[in-house]
């Protein structure tokens, strides 16, 4: 809750004005039954049409003034709710961006998307309704009771009994439903996670004939969410009928008491109608309050989930005096006894890796699936911190660098080519360093190095050709070449190609490697399952189940490393058939 209030501070004026105008509307509304009573007692019963017209005019004026107050309150409430939600969403996004891969892996993509969208929207609705109704509804309820006492004390005792009973029902249901709404949001996360996995892995699911199994798993999660929502919904749905029953019983009691008081000449017919109107106002406001409480329950549950994300702190700490550069005479990259295990993993993904990489060398990293190739290169830009040992760049531990300074030294091309909706130019400029001017010549040079120049030249618009989200209008090879070009735009000191040429044919792959050799000042890491892609590297690191089983040149490993020989000969035997 403190998190929400923090983002509402910028809208303190709106948070005061919105309920203030709602209270003014409520005050005018409380006078309506008294005006109606005057019309009945003095105008209709007394046969005085002047009174009817005068009081009718007052009713119209009260309605117009109330409408103006209501619209004004809605404006300020909406402004505070939308503005605070936007601020909260920005802060949440910025916080997520500050987390390391370790925390992102633990939280999960689907739940983060849910909390940034559905949960924040629910909090926004809650803030809006609270500002408009949280004070107005109780004010009308207790104001109606007080006004009833000004008319007749014995009749007003019906209000004294009714309001506590109604409060007990409303708040009892609220206390029961709050934890259940949290469970509903958790079940929703699981459904969204399943949906996201099925959509992103649709081809793999079809390839292995897993449609039925995935459908059954989704149905199970969806059924669990449905059952939980029905359970909470049934209890929440009891609020309206219970309040209706209680209020209508109170109306019956009020009419009976009023009728007896009219017979005794203590009350007039107009006063009984006023009492009935006050009870009707209580009914309407309690229904609003009941719906408000349901929304508040959901909003509190969502706010708690958002707060829990803010409570997650990055496991990566920044040095008190971060370095911006290292020793230019030191090795470009050095692994000293590096071991790494993912959070919650039973076994390490890398064990006791020692590797020294001089400047300008090309390092090949090869191994079977799950051998730790991507893990190794992810430690260089400090996407993860080594569990044991240290990774050094230019002789400085990566943990001692300022994060921005470290990432500017490194260009990373991930396994999955990710492009953003926009133009080719927009995507390439992502690789440029902040503040450095980048002209079209630099972009074309990067495209030429990545073997993508001819592709872009053939496209209508050239650098300004449109790219759809994730590059859906491009082939797999084109996407990979554009992501490589993007990494080359900033002329990084260290270039990491994480299996980023898998969609390229052998001729294009060879041409790409040949062009990269011209970057004599760049240290290149090539992760691949193709032996042909790394056979000409200065050093080749062979991994097997997280352990380094060989480091050397192609010829050395072919003679001394059985794992590398098995990978190489299996691939070249297939090529010769």
pLDDT one-digit tens code per residue, 379-395: 999 888 888 999 999 99
Which residue ranges does the chain devote to CATH 1.20.1560.10? 2-182+232-310
User: Cα–chain-centroid distance for residue 247?
Assistant: 42
Share of the chain above pLDDT 70, in %: 98
What are the backbone angles phi and psi of residue 525, rounded to the nearest 5°?
A: -110, 120
Instruction: Supply the pLDDT for residue 74.
Output: 93
Instruction: Supply the pLDDT for residue 435.
Output: 57
464: pLDDT strictly greater than 60:
yes
Instruction: Supply the pLDDT for residue 84.
Output: 92
575: pLDDT strictly greater than 50:
no
* Distances from the Cα of 139 to the Cα of 144, 147, 155, 353, angstroms: 8, 12, 20, 70
Tell me how crowded residue 340 is: count the other CB atoms within 10 A of its CB: 23
576: pLDDT strictly greater than 50:
no
Instruction: Supply the pLDDT for residue 526.
Output: 92
Considering only CA atoms, which of 141, 85, 121, 120 is closest in space to residue 288? 141
Instruction: Supply the pLDDT for residue 71.
Output: 93
Provide the 3-class DSSP secondary structure of residue 22: helix
User: Would residue 256 be called left, alpha or beta, if left means φ above 0 and alpha means ψ between -120 and 50 degrees?
Assistant: alpha
Quote the crossing angle between the two packed helices 153-200 and 136-151, to the nearest 10°. 170
For the chain, what is the total number of helices (H) and then of strands (E)? 22, 12
Which residue ranges does the chain devote to CATH 3.40.50.300? 333-576
Give the residue ranges of DSSP H helices in 201-329.
202-207, 211-237, 239-263, 269-310
Of 210-219, 222-231, 237-246, 369-378, which gets the smallest average pLDDT? 237-246
Instruction: Supply the pLDDT for residue 436.
Output: 64
Average pLDDT over every residue of 291-312: 84
483 or 244: which leads in pLDDT: 483
Q: Which CATH architecture has domain 333-576?
A: 3-Layer(aba) Sandwich (3.40)
Average pLDDT over every residue of 37-60: 83
541: pLDDT strictly greater than 60:
yes
The answer to whether the CB of 108 falls within 8 A of the CB of 24 is: no
337: pLDDT strictly greater than 60:
yes
pTM, two decimal places:
0.72
Please classify residue 435 by burial: count the beta carbons closer than 10 Å to its beta carbon, then call 0-12 exposed, 13-18 middle and 19+ buried: exposed
Average pLDDT over every residue of 449-463: 87
User: Cα–chain-centroid distance for residue 98?
Assistant: 14
Instruction: Supply the pLDDT for residue 573.
Output: 65
CA within 13 Å, CB half, 329: 0
104: pLDDT strictly greater than 90:
no
Q: Which helix (H) or strand (E) holds 357?
A: strand 350-357
484 or 281: which leads in pLDDT: 484
Average pLDDT over every residue of 532-552: 89
Average pLDDT over every residue of 175-203: 80
CA angle at 544 for the pair 496 and 101, rounded to the nearest 5°: 45
| Whether CATH 1.20.1560.10 fits 2-182+232-310 | yes
The answer to whether the CB of 466 falls within 8 A of the CB of 473 is: yes
> What distance in Å separates the CA atoms of residue 353 and residue 375, rounded to the nearest whole number?
12
- pLDDT-based confidence at 316, cuts 50/70/90? confident
User: Would residue 255 be called left, alpha or beta, if left means φ above 0 and alpha means ψ between -120 and 50 degrees?
Assistant: alpha
Average pLDDT over every residue of 208-224: 89
Name the strands in the sheet holding 523-527, side by side, starting at the edge strand that comes first in the sequence: 396-397, 388-393, 333-340, 350-357, 547-552, 539-544, 362-367, 523-527, 494-498, 410-413
Instruction: Supply the pLDDT for residue 75.
Output: 94
574: pLDDT strictly greater than 60:
no
pLDDT one-digit tens code per residue, 134-186: 888 888 888 888 888 888 888 888 888 888 887 788 778 777 877 787 788 77
> What distance in Å separates the CA atoms of residue 287 and residue 274, rounded to the nearest whole number?
20
- pLDDT-based confidence at 432, cuts 50/70/90? confident
Give the mean pLDDT of the chain.
86
Share of the chain above pLDDT 90, in %: 19
Instruction: Supply the pLDDT for residue 577.
Output: 36
CA angle at 193 for the pair 499 and 385, rounded to the nearest 5°: 50
* CA-CA-CA-CA dihedral for 173, 174, 178, 179, to nearest 10: -40
């Amino acid at each position: 809750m403190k998190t929400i209030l923090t983002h509402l501070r910028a809208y303190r004026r709106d948070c005061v004005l919105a309920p203030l105008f709602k209270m003014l509307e409520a005050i005018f509304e409380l006078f309506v039954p008294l005006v109606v009573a005057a019309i009945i007692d003095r105008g209709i019963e007394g046969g005085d049409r002047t009174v009817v017209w005068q009081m009718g005019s007052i009713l119209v004026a009260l309605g117009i003034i109330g409408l103006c107050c209501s619209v004004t309150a809605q404006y300020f409430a909406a402004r505070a709710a939308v503005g605070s939600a936007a601020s909260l969403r920005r802060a949440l996004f910025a916080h997520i961006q500050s987390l390391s891969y370790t925390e992102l892996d633990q939280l999960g993509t689907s739940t983060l998307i849910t909390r940034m969208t559905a949960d924040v929207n629910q909090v926004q609705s809650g803030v809006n309704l609270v500002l408009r109704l949280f004070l107005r509804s109780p004010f009308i309820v207790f104001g109606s009771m007080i006004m009833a006492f000004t008319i007749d004390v014995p009749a007003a005792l019906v209000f004294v009994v009714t309001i506590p009973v109604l409060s007990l029902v409303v708040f009892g249901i609220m206390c029961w439903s709050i934890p259940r709404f949290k469970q509903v949001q958790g079940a929703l996360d699981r459904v969204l996670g399943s949906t996201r996995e099925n959509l992103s892995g649709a081809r793999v699911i079809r390839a292995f004939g897993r449609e039925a199994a995935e459908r059954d798993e989704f149905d199970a999660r969806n059924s669990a969410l449905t059952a939980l929502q029905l359970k909470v919904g049934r209890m929440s749905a009891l609020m309206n009928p219970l309040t209706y029953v209680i209020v209508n019983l109170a109306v019956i009691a009020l009419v009976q008491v009023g009728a007896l008081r009219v017979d005794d000449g203590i009350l007039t017919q107009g006063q009984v109608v006023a009492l009935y109107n006050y009870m009707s106002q209580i009914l309407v406001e309690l229904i609003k309050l009941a719906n408000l409480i349901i929304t508040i329950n959901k909003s509190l549950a969502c706010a708690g989930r958002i707060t829990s994300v803010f409570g997650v702190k990055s496991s990566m700490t920044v040095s008190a005096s971060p370095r911006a550069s290292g020793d230019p005479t030191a090795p470009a990259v050095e692994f000293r006894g590096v071991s790494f295990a993912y959070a919650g993993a039973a076994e390490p993904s890398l064990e006791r890796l020692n590797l020294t990489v001089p400047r300008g060398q090309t390092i090949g990293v090869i191994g079977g699936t799950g051998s730790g190739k991507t893990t190794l290169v992810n430690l260089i830009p400090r996407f993860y911190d080594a569990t044991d040992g240290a990774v050094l760049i230019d002789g400085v531990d990566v943990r001692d660098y300022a994060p921005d300074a470290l990432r500017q030294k490194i260009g990373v091309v991930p396994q999955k080519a990710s492009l953003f909706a926009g133009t080719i130019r927009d995507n390439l400029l992502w690789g440029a360093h902040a503040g450095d001017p980048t002209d079209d010549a630099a972009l074309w040079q990067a495209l030429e190095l990545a073997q993508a120049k001819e592709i872009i030249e053939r496209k209508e618009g050239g650098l300004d050709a449109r790219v759809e989200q994730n590059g859906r209008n491009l082939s797999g090879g084109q996407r990979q070449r554009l992501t490589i070009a993007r990494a080359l735009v900033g002329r990084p000191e260290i270039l990491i190609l994480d299996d980023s040429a898998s969609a390229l044919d052998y001729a294009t792959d060879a041409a790409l490697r040949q062009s990269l050799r011209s970057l004599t000042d760049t240290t290149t890491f090539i992760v691949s399952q193709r032996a042909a892609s790394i056979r000409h590297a200065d050093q080749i690191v062979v991994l097997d189940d997280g352990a380094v089983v060989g480091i050397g040149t192609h010829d050395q490993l072919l003679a001394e490393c059985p794992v590398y020989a098995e990978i190489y000969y299996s691939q070249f035997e297939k090529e010769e058939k």
